[in-house]
Amino acid sequence: MSTAVHAEGVATTTPDWAAIRAQFPLLQRRVHDKPLIYLDSANTSQKPATVIEAVDDFYRQHNANVSRAVHALGSEATAAYEGARRRLAAFLKVQPDELVLCSGTTFAINLVAYSYALPRLKPGDAILLTRMEHHANIVPWQLVAERTGAVIKVAELDANGDLDVEAMLAKMTPEVRIVSLAHVSNVLGTVNPVREICRQARKRGITSVVDGSQAAPHLGLDIPSLDCDFYAITGHKMCGPTGTGVLWARREHLQAMPPFLGGGEMIREVRFEGTVFNDPPYRFEAGTPNIAGFVGLAAAVDFLDGIGMEAIAAREHELGHYLRSALEREPGVRIFGNPRQRTAVVSFLVEGAHAHDLATLLDLQGVAVRSGHHCAHPLMQHFGVPATCRASLAFYNTHAEIDAFITALQKVRGLLA
Ligand SMILES: Cc1ncc(COP(=O)(O)O)c(C=O)c1O
């Protein structure tokens, strides 16, 4: 860290980004004999050594199942797992017993759909989604809509990829029971005004669900301030291990919800005549959880907090601006959307080239971008394309990498001309 003194005389520290980047072993790799330029963090982030070591240490020193064994290792594993729950709660500014630890956003939204919505929805009820949702926030709702006779309504976007909030509020009619939306779009980086939308939903008695997959890694979260009912995050996009995630829910919802999956850990007593279920959040955590994964995720939030989410957001904002401006200067490049508030994600195409060809040729130069529909078919339909390329940044990327990406893109354009 270096220290700067502002005009008011307040000293602030600027993180040493090069030293932070050096803590990510994988970023030192070469692919196709070129230095790796990883621009696919919206897909999954890379992991710092502290996360890798925390997982390694768990398996080397503490591995046992949770809540089952009274022996020393069993107690250590349980303490580590519950410690991770408390650590995540502190990161999200909520209470530990309001957090269901699960495999990720996909599981979390399915849990809300099946356990909260399915018993409540009736024919004619509506679920309001937005055009920019990831399939994980569309398909579970379609499945419960099919079973209950509810219908899906869609809030549309403008040409910039911003939600038309007025039109969305107008769609919050009395038959709407649930509104579910992304905090941040995985394709455009749009940051949605979720606080305003959830507040308006609450006023109308509509339950709100927020998919925070792309927000948690980039924005400092204060879930209670959002006024939502449910908030889902996935650990692997925020420097944590794959197969980890969290559903935050208001305590009264968790208490009223029946179990989603049955098995060990989620019960108090089982008889063939019937089962008494455990209290939330354990009622929703059937079976052996990803204990090592959550130990790693706790290390990941320690790492992120060690840098500071404000510093991360500022760094990514600056890098995102640099990336977008550089792409805008390139002839023949079409950029999708121009949201007012956004994270460091840019979707683009090059005139005359298919997204997969572009990504393949970039990969040969060491540049990893994602190509495809990004699990957002309805958004692709909005833009009238089957696929885009997406460059997505994290705080560990550098300006030099963005320059190298642009040089690689120019070379690809030459090859495709
Ligand atoms: C906005 C959004 N929602 C949901 C998901 C699904 O996350 P997971 O596959 O970790 O459950 C993703 C992952 O790409 C996403 O970007």
CA of 234, closest atom in ligand 1: 10
Ligand 1 site, CB within 6 A? 104-106, 134, 136-137, 182, 186, 211, 213-214, 234, 236, 375
Mutation to probe ligand 1, out of 110, 180, 213 (largest number of atoms < 8 A from CB) = 213
CA distances in angstroms from 416 to 118, 357, 387, listed in the order given: 50, 9, 18
List active site positions: 375
Please give the Cα distance from 358 to 368 (Å, whole number). 11
Q: Whose CA is nearest to atom 12 of ligand 1?
A: 213
How far apart are the CA of 196 and the centre of ligand 1, in A? 23
**Which SS3 state, helix, strand or coil, does residue 299 take?**
helix
Mutation to probe ligand 1, out of 106, 230, 343 (largest number of atoms < 8 A from CB) = 106
Options 3.50.50.60, 3.10.150.10, 3.40.640.10, 1.20.120.80; CATH of 52-305: 3.40.640.10
Which CATH class name applies to 2-47+308-416?
A: alpha beta
How far apart are the CA of 375 and the centre of ligand 1, in A? 9
CA of 136, closest atom in ligand 1: 4
Residue boundaries of the structural domains of the chain: 2-47+308-416, 52-305
Return per-residue pLDDT of the chain as tens, 417 residues: 444 444 444 445 789 999 999 999 999 999 999 999 999 999 999 999 999 999 999 999 999 999 777 899 999 999 999 999 999 999 999 999 999 999 999 999 999 999 999 999 999 999 999 999 999 999 999 999 999 999 999 999 998 999 999 999 999 999 999 999 999 999 999 999 999 999 999 999 999 999 999 999 999 999 999 999 999 999 999 999 999 999 999 999 999 999 999 998 888 999 999 999 999 999 999 999 999 999 999 999 999 999 999 999 999 999 999 999 999 999 999 999 999 999 999 999 999 999 999 999 999 999 999 999 999 999 999 999 999 999 999 999 999 999 999 999 999 998 887
**Which SS3 state, helix, strand or coil, does residue 217 take?**
coil
Looking at residue 227, its amino acid is D
**Helices vs. strands in the chain: H and E counts, helices first:** 14, 19
Quick check: 165 and 131 in contact, CB under 8 A?
A: no
